[in-house]
């Protein structure tokens, strides 16, 4: 006779906890919940600490950056002013001569002023300042600001015929557009209409 191995019966289940087992289960679950809560609080405190440190680091970086920008700006201003001082000296000498009572010929005055202008222009150009070309050039709204139009047959339409105020770029950026007068084709009157009037 063969003995059959006992197979687990799917209908057989684990016995349900009795009233005696329930306090231990509840206590285990409660301890696990307390442990998870403590772990979550520890992680939250760690994240908060990291956040505070990152915020402090960011504020320090901003302070350092502001300080460096101020230093660079101050150095650039100092360098530019040192370059401008000879022009200021020349201007002061011109004022001294003009107020000394020694009469100067207009040509001598013009030569001195031209030299001063060249000296100042050289300094400004060395810093990246460039004049905007205007007279004889086509109108460019990015570079030129029209103050008036003049009707003429001598130049094509929208060509600058006069510069009222010079414009400048600094390192390729327009810092002041040229004020210009632009050509405009004269209005043609119909000869038949002119006769009837």
Flag whether 28 is in a domain.
Answer: yes
Query: Residue 171 gets which letter from DSSP?
Result: T
Flag whether 31 is in a domain.
Answer: yes
116 with 156, same domain: the answer is no
Flag whether 17 is in a domain.
Answer: no
111 with 136, same domain: the answer is no
- Per-residue pLDDT for the chain (197 aa), expressed as one digit of tens each? 455 555 555 555 655 555 566 778 788 888 999 999 999 999 999 999 999 999 999 999 999 999 999 889 888 888 888 888 888 888 888 888 777 777 777 787 788 888 888 988 888 898 889 999 999 999 999 999 999 999 988 888 999 999 999 999 998 899 999 999 999 888 876 556 555 55
* Domain housing 40: 24-127
150 with 178, same domain: the answer is yes
Contacts of 130 (CB under 8 A, 6+ apart): 168, 169, 170
68 with 140, same domain: the answer is no
Query: If we measure between CA atoms, which residue out of 178, 96, 193, 111 comes closest to residue 138?
Result: 178
Flag whether 8 is in a domain.
Answer: no
80 with 38, same domain: the answer is yes
Flag whether 178 is in a domain.
Answer: yes
Query: Residue 184 gets which letter from DSSP?
Result: E
112 with 54, same domain: the answer is yes
The domain total for the chain is 2
């Amino acid at each position: 006779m063969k003995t059959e191995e006992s197979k687990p019966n799917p209908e057989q289940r684990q016995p349900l906890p009795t009233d005696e087992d329930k306090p231990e289960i509840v206590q285990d679950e409660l301890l696990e919940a307390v442990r998870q809560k403590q772990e979550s609080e520890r992680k939250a405190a760690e994240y908060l600490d990291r956040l505070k440190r990152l915020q402090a680091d960011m504020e320090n970086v901003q302070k350092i950056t502001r300080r460096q920008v101020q230093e660079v700006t101050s150095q650039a201003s100092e360098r530019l002013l040192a370059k401008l001082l000879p022009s200021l000296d020349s201007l002061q000498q011109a004022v001294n001569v003009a107020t000394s009572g020694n009469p100067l010929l207009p040509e001598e005055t013009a030569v001195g002023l031209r030299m001063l202008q060249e000296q100042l222009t050289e300094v400004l150009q060395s810093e990246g300042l460039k004049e905007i070309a205007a007279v004889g050039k086509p109108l460019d709204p990015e570079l030129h600001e029209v103050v008036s139009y003049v009707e003429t047959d001598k130049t094509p339409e929208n060509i600058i015929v006069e510069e009222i105020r010079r414009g400048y770029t600094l390192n390729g950026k327009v810092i002041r557009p040229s004020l210009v007068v632009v050509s405009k084709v004269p209005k043609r009157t119909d000869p038949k209409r002119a006769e009837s009037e």
